Amino acid sequence: MKIAENSVATIDYTLKDDEDVVIDQSSDGNFAYLHNGQNIIPGLEAALLGKAAGDKVEVTVEPAQAYGEKDLAQIQRVPRDMFPAEADIQPGMQFQGESPDGQMSVVTVSDIDGDEVVVDGNHPLAGLTLHFDVSVVDVREASAEELEHGHVHGPGGHAH
Q: Which residues bind Zn ion (CB under 5 A)?
A: 149, 158
> Which residue's Cβ has the minimum distance to Zn ion?
149
Q: Which is nearer to Zn ion, 2 or 149 (CB)?
A: 149
Amino acid at 70: K
Q: Which is nearer to Zn ion, 131 or 149 (CB)?
A: 149
Q: How far is the CB of 149 from Zn ion (least distance, A)?
A: 3
Q: How far is the CB of 32 from Zn ion (least distance, A)?
A: 12
Q: Which is nearer to Zn ion, 120 or 146 (CB)?
A: 146
Q: How far is the CB of 31 from Zn ion (least distance, A)?
A: 16
Q: Which is nearer to Zn ion, 32 or 117 (CB)?
A: 32
